[in-house]
């Protein structure tokens, strides 16, 4: 991949923002985590009066060959059906995005089916970024998810869709995922990237039961063994993606890269999206400075990812849906964190007595 230019977030602006926050008409620190969020936004925007306008959530969809192993409660066809649901405005992410002032951008980076149900410019549907790299990944229990060239195309698909949203006026980006089977890929990828055992990162996904969970854990273990047997000496970030998948996780990494490249805050969602965030940070470590954790889900591996990224989640609502729902739910809190800095009076300006 062509190397991206990502400016490190300014530590000087961060210090100045923290100092400025203490001049505002409230006891120092009384807005808790909201103050830290506001200061980070100020540093990213290089102003003491940050503002968040319209947002965009880039929902990346693809299928997973590993569903052949019976690791999900839903059939693969649901991925294409949900892509159509996103475009028709009927999914959870559509409602939450409308409520949160964000545009929904849908990217097909590798959905198996869906072409018939997918007429370009069909009446009343949101447009689709049609960037199918391949029809679903390989079955990672027995083979690589994709080639290195395909991995690069997947990242590029998300990068370019996000760049277009930024040209369209988005001032903050969230990423969302849709892909039946993708918590299996995300578990394998997270375990490999963070050096964690499969048990620490394999959860129930959309709701697999006891026997299917055991199968899922076995598949993650097998995929990791295959990856390790490949003896990749200090593997490149795209090697992890090519070996373990998925296509939409690669595209999500591209969304975060594009946001950071443009100097915009970027917001993670749940477990598969945060796997994309980990990958983006591995591709370019300066992405980390632009990342906000929208929420912490009930998926156990998600907490491990956030610990590794040293990100405190804005929300903890026991979500486990994906689509970017938890990221977009957090946008109004981020917007309020910015507004507080942009609009509050100082003790001096308002003639309010400070603490004794």
Nearer to a copy of itself, 219 or 329 (CB): 329
- Of residues 25 and 222, the one with the C-beta less far from a copy of itself: 25
Asked if the bond preceding 265 is cis, omega within 30° of 0, the reply is no
Lay out the sheet containing 313-315: strands in order across: 128-130, 102-110, 55-62, 172-178, 266-268, 291-295, 313-315
| CA–CA gap between residue 119 and residue 128 (Å, rounded) | 9
Under DSSP, is residue 61 helix (H, G, I), strand (E, B) or coil? Answer: strand
- Is residue 67 part of the contact set for a copy of itself (CB under 8 A)? no
Q: Is residue 32 near a copy of itself by the rule CB under 8 A?
A: yes
Cα separation, 157 vs 324, in Å, equals 17
Beta carbon of residue 89, minimum distance to a copy of itself (angstroms, whole number): 7
**Angle at the Cα of 223 (from 212 to 142), degrees rounded to 5?**
90
If we measure between CA atoms, which residue out of 215, 211, 186, 207 comes closest to residue 301? 186
Would you count residue 351 as binding a copy of itself (CB under 8 A)? Answer: yes
From the CA atom positions of the chain, what is the Rg in Å?
20
Active site residue 286: no
CA distances to 186, 285, 299, 313 from 200, rounded to whole Å, are 12, 24, 10, 19
Min dist. Cβ of residue 310 to a copy of itself (A):
17
122 belongs to the binding site for a copy of itself (CB under 8 A): no
Asked if 103 interacts with a copy of itself (CB under 8 A), we say: no
**Count of residues that interact with a copy of itself, criterion CB under 8 A:** 62
Among 82, 104, 174, 191, binds a copy of itself (CB under 8 A): 82
249 closest CA partner among 119, 123, 146: 146
String of contacts with a copy of itself for each residue 302-341, x by CB under 8 A: ------------xxxxxxxx---x---x--xx-xx--xx-
Q: What is the nearest approach in angstroms of a copy of itself to the Cβ of residue 71?
A: 12
Q: Find the shortest distance in angstroms from Cβ 16 to a copy of itself.
A: 19
Give the catalytic positions in this structure. 323
Binding site for a copy of itself (CB under 8 A): 24-34, 73-75, 77-78, 81-82, 84-85, 88-92, 94-96, 98-100, 206-207, 298, 314-321, 325, 329, 332-333, 335-336, 339-340, 342-345, 349-356
């Amino acid at each position: 991949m062509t190397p991206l230019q990502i400016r490190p977030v300014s530590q000087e602006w961060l210090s100045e923002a923290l100092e400025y926050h203490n001049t505002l008409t409230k006891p120092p620190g009384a807005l808790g985590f909201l103050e830290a969020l506001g200061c980070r936004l100020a540093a990213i925007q290089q102003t003491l009066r940050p503002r968040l306008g319209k947002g965009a959530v880039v929902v990346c969809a693809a299928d997973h060959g590993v569903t052949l192993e019976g690791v999900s409660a839903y059939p693969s066809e649901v991925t294409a059906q949900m892509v159509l649901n996103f475009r028709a405005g009927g999914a959870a992410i559509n409602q939450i995005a409308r409520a949160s002032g964000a545009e929904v951008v849908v990217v097909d980076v590798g959905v198996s089916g869906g072409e018939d149900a997918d007429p370009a410019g069909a009446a009343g549907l949101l447009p689709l970024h049609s960037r199918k790299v391949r029809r679903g990944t390989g079955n990672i229990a027995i083979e690589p998810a994709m080639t290195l060239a395909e991995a690069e195309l997947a990242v590029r698909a998300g990068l370019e869709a996000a760049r277009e949203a930024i040209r369209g006026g988005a001032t903050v980006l969230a990423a969302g995922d849709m892909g039946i089977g993708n918590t299996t890929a995300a578990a394998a990828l997270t375990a490999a990237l963070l050096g964690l055992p499969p048990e620490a990162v394999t959860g129930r996904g959309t709701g697999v039961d006891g026997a299917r969970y055991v199968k899922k854990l076995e598949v993650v273990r097998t995929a990791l063994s295959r990856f390790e047997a490949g003896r990749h000496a200090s593997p490149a970030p795209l090697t992890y993606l090519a070996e373990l998948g998925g296509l939409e996780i690669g595209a999500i990494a591209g969304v975060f890269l594009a946001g950071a490249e443009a100097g915009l805050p970027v917001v993670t969602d749940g477990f598969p999206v945060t796997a994309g965030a980990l990958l983006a940070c591995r591709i370019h470590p300066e992405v980390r400075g632009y990342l906000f954790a929208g929420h912490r889900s009930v998926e156990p591996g998600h907490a491990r990812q956030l610990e590794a990224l040293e990100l405190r989640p804005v929300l903890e609502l026991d979500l486990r849906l994906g689509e970017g729902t938890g990221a977009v739910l957090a946008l109004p809190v981020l917007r309020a964190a910015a507004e507080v800095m942009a609009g509050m009076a100082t003790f001096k300006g308002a003639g309010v007595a400070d603490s004794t």
